[in-house]
Homo-oligomer: A and B are copies of this chain.
């Protein structure tokens, strides 16, 4: 109970890589896990306080207003392993793009085309990002043991992004059959 759920996992996980401040935990989650996870300050600080109370993290440096880094303890590592082994909590899906396309009849082909083009551009941007991260990881000498796992999640993103691109292309073609784009003659 209390401060349940996966925020604890994410925070302990971040600290398992290296000790850092609460602020840095948020940045790490945003920048590194950002493609599949998110936490806000409003979650992180209370969670850190609770983890400190339970002895799963230790505060190093002054405790107030001045930057204090948090380090995971032995019991914290054990707790992390325990949390990771817990069954995955499915989040109810909420895909705004699909919702709009499903009711695309009301939205019209032109607006749907925009949505698809946007989705495609987004997927391509993400793909480029993943490939950059992948290169970076392969050159990184530290975290050798973690790297294999990190590469898996990056690869998942890349697969998903490529799938999104292919789907967008296919759907755009289908849309052209319903409503040929202007300047293509014939109707």
Residue numbers of A with Cβ under 8 A of B are: 6, 9-10, 13, 16, 33-38, 77, 80-81, 84-85, 88-107, 111-112, 115, 145-146, 148-153, 155-156, 159-160, 162-164, 166-167, 170-171, 174-175, 178
Can you name the residue of chain B whose Cβ is closest to the Cβ of A108?
A: B81
A80's partner among B95, B106, B163 (CB-CB below 8 A) is: B106
This chain: copies in complex: 2
Query: Helix, strand, loop or mixed for chain A's interface?
Result: helix
Closest to A90 in B: B96
For A149, the chain B residues whose CB sits under 8 A away are 101-105, 112
Point out the residues of chain B lying under 8 angstroms from A175, CB to CB. Answer: 148
A112 to B37, CA, bound (A): 18
The complex places the Cα of A178 from the Cα of B146 at a distance, in Å, of 11
Decide: A98 and B156 in contact? CB cutoff 8 A: yes
Give A165's nearest chain B residue, CB to CB: B159
